[in-house]
Amino acid sequence: MSTLKADTIQSTGGGAATLTKQSAAKAFVNFNGNGTVAIKSNLNTSSITDNGAGDYTANLTSAMSNALYTGLASARDQSTGANIVAADGNTTRTVGASAFHVWTAYSGASNKTLYDALFVDVVIHGDLA
């Protein structure tokens, strides 16, 4: 067995190496979902679309190979201490492999009213196109 040790791996063009067929996240985004929606940190995420209260779309820079990727979302609101749930809003995955739809809502509300969370996190695993 060989051992490869490296501090930095780059593509042949000098940029970041593209991971394919790996279990590492292919995209993530941390964004402010309250007030003016703004990305705080990301990988492979070009923008966030604010579709209304507690309803967002994370647009990917490089698309996934198909719509069978796994997306996970979480949300929190430190200003009010509210319990927030986040869910994959891709009910039919018709958004396609280039975007991930997210809903955030109060977890204690009986009708799960959509709510703009202060912190929203999305992680996507799967194969890049």
Percentage with pLDDT > 90 across the chain: 28
Q: Which of 4-8, 53-57, 108-112, 114-118 has the lowest mean pLDDT?
A: 108-112
What pLDDT shows up at residue 33? 92
Q: Report residue 113 as tokens.
A: 């009213």
Q: Which residue has the tokens 């196109």?
A: 129
What pLDDT shows up at residue 19? 65
pTM for this model (two decimals): 0.76
pLDDT beyond 90 at 95: no
- 105 burial via Cβ count (<10 Å: 0-12, 13-18, 19+): buried
Q: CA 61, 67, 69: angle at the middle one, nearest 5?
A: 80
pLDDT beyond 70 at 92: no
Q: Report residue 18 as tokens.
A: 């593209």
pLDDT band at 20 (very low <50, low <70, confident <90, very high): low
Percentage with pLDDT > 70 across the chain: 81
pLDDT beyond 80 at 122: yes
Q: What is the mean pLDDT of the segment spanning 52-62? A: 92
- 31 burial via Cβ count (<10 Å: 0-12, 13-18, 19+): buried
Return the domain boundaries, the chain. 27-125
Q: Report residue 61 as tokens.
A: 């820079």
pLDDT band at 25 (very low <50, low <70, confident <90, very high): confident
CA separation (Å) from 112 to 13, 54, 68, 72?
A: 48, 11, 27, 19
Kindly state the greatest CA–CA separation across the chain: 56
Q: Please report, as a single letter, which amino acid is at residue 127.
A: D
